[in-house]
Amino acid sequence: MLRHLFCTVCFILFSAAVFAQEKDTIQNNSNYEFLSEKNETTQTTQATKPKKQTYQFQRSWSFGGNIGLSFWNGGTDILIAPKAYYNLSPKFLTGFGLTYIYSSQEDDFAKYSQNSFGPSVMIAVRPVPMLQLSAEYEGLQTNGSTDFKFADRADTDYSYWNNALYLGASFVSRNVSFGVRYDLLYDSTRSVYSSAWSPVIGFYF
């Protein structure tokens, strides 16, 4: 009788200790939940979802421009056009720059040389990362002189201002862009370019 009573008391004390330890684990650990169903204890883990990292666009300046050198029929053309760009958003950017063009040619009748310089301002959109559509205003002050090789012709000096409004499309690959542009205000008697269409190559840093 005493043996049975002693075994019963030990079993009750052991069960109470196990229950108390399980209850203490539930209260002190917020990462676990214990759900009992049909006298079975099931342990589930509350997984913490990682926070999604989102890219924050930073408005910033970049620099670049155009540079060109060509030789044709005894003539020379040099183009230097540095530009500064401000990124308004991942798809829109604006910028301004300076343009300098030196041009000269000599043939059997005369030789001429001229310098053109002036500011430019542009805005561009990139509907997709590889394509850039732009609109750009450029004003150039042109000063030049023509020296004739005949005594009966007087040398000529000239100076004038020319406006240009370009619409362009360029393919962009990393820090380089190349494409074409068209001058809506093209005047063959005043423009320093031989055509309303002109190729453009740009660099960005």
163 vs 191: CA distance, rounded Å: 8
Model pLDDT, residue 109: 84
- CB neighbour class for 137 (10 Å; exposed up to 12, middle 13-18, buried from 19): middle
Model pLDDT, residue 41: 47
Model pLDDT, residue 121: 97
pLDDT tens digits, one per residue of 85-94 = 999 988 999 9
The arithmetic mean of pLDDT across residues 148-171, rounded, is 90
pTM for this structure? 0.66
The arithmetic mean of pLDDT across residues 99-106, rounded, is 93
Structure tokens at 41: 């204890």
Scanning the structure block, which residue is given the tokens 């676990």?
32
Structure tokens at 197: 């269409």
Predicted confidence band of residue 67 (pLDDT cuts 50, 70, 90): confident
**Which distant-in-sequence residues (6+ apart) come within 8 Å of 86 by Cβ?**
59, 60, 61, 93, 94, 95
Model pLDDT, residue 6: 46
| List of domains in the chain | 2-45 (no CATH), 60-204 (2.40.160.20)
Query: Do 193 and 185 touch, CB atoms closer than 8 A?
Result: no
pLDDT above 90 for 108: no
% of the chain with per-residue pLDDT over 90: 41
